[in-house]
Amino acid sequence: MEFIKKFIPEALLKAIRPFYHGMMAVLASWYFGHPSEKMVVIGVTGTNGKTTTVNLIGKILEEAGFKAGWISTAVLNIGGGDFLNPTKITMPSGWLLQKWMRQMLRAGCKYAILEISSEGLAQNRHLGINFDVAVFTNLTPEHLEAHNGFENYKLAKAKLFDSLSMLPITDVKRSINLNLKKTIITNADDIYSKFFASFKADQYLTYGILSEADYFATEHDYSPKGIAYTLIVEPVFGGGDESQKAGGKSARFNLQLKGLFDVYNSLAAIAVAQSQDVELDVCKAALEDVKVVPGRVEVIQDAPFAVVVDYAYEPEEMKQLYETIEWWPKNRIIQVLGPTGGGRDKARIPVLGKMAGKFADIVIVTTDDSYDEDPNSLADMMLAGVSTSEKVRDHTLFKILDRQSAIIKALQLARAGDLVLITGKGAEQTMAVANGKYIPWDDREVAKKELGLMHLERHKNLDHYKTHDFGN
| Residue at a domain's end among 289, 319, 338 | 289
In-domain check, residue 464: no
Distance CA 239, CA 333 (A): 50
In-domain check, residue 136: yes
In-domain check, residue 465: no
Distance CA 233, CA 429 (A): 38
170 lies in the same domain as 44: yes
37 lies in the same domain as 112: yes
In sequence order, what are the beta bridge partners of 42?
Answer: 113, 133
Distance CA 76, CA 265 (A): 18
pLDDT tens sequence for the chain (472 residues)? 455 555 566 666 667 778 899 999 999 999 999 999 999 999 999 999 999 999 999 999 999 999 999 999 999 999 999 999 998 888 999 999 999 999 999 999 999 999 999 999 999 999 999 999 999 999 987 665 566 778 999 999 999 999 999 999 999 999 999 999 999 999 999 999 999 999 999 999 999 999 999 999 999 999 999 999 999 998 444 444 433 334 568 999 999 999 989 999 999 999 999 999 999 999 999 999 999 999 999 999 999 999 999 999 999 999 999 999 999 999 999 999 999 776 577 889 999 999 999 999 999 999 999 998 999 999 999 999 998 778 999 999 999 999 999 999 999 999 999 999 999 999 999 999 998 899 999 999 999 999 999 988 876 665 554 454 434 3
Residues with Cβ within 8 Å of residue 3, at least 6 apart in sequence: none
158 lies in the same domain as 257: yes
467 class by beta-carbon count within 10 Å (0-12 exposed, 13-18 middle, 19+ buried): exposed
CA torsion 240→244→249→252, rounded to 10°?
Answer: -120
Q: Is the pTM of this model over 0.85?
A: yes
Residues with Cβ within 8 Å of residue 452, at least 6 apart in sequence: none
| Contact predicate 128/37, CB 8 Å | no
Distance CA 68, CA 79 (A): 6
* Cα distances (angstroms) measured from residue 351 to each of 61, 93, 147, 273: 39, 32, 20, 37
Angle subtended at Cα 70 by Cα 64 and Cα 72, rounded to the nearest 5 degrees: 130
In-domain check, residue 470: no
320 lies in the same domain as 342: yes
In-domain check, residue 358: yes
Angle subtended at Cα 89 by Cα 87 and Cα 93, rounded to the nearest 5 degrees: 105
33 lies in the same domain as 103: yes
195 class by beta-carbon count within 10 Å (0-12 exposed, 13-18 middle, 19+ buried): middle
400 lies in the same domain as 382: yes
| Residue at a domain's end among 289, 313, 345 | 289
57 lies in the same domain as 78: yes
Please state the domain count of the chain: 2
Angle subtended at Cα 240 by Cα 239 and Cα 244, rounded to the nearest 5 degrees: 70
In-domain check, residue 373: yes
Print the domain residue range for 209: 2-289
| Contact predicate 206/156, CB 8 Å | no
124 lies in the same domain as 157: yes
In-domain check, residue 368: yes
40 lies in the same domain as 189: yes
CATH of the domain at 249: 3.40.1190.10
CATH of the domain at 348: 3.90.190.20
201 lies in the same domain as 303: no
Phi-psi region of 337 (alpha: psi -120 to 50; beta: other; left: phi over 0): beta
In sequence order, what are the beta bridge partners of 360?
Answer: none
Distance CA 196, CA 154 (A): 9
Closest CA to 293 of 61, 51, 91: 51
Q: Which helix (H) or strand (E) holds 24?
A: helix 10-31
192 lies in the same domain as 55: yes
For residue 36, count other CB atoms closer than 10 A to its CB.
26
| Residue at a domain's end among 258, 289, 320 | 289
281 lies in the same domain as 198: yes
| Contact predicate 57/269, CB 8 Å | yes
In-domain check, residue 463: no
DSSP state of 18: H
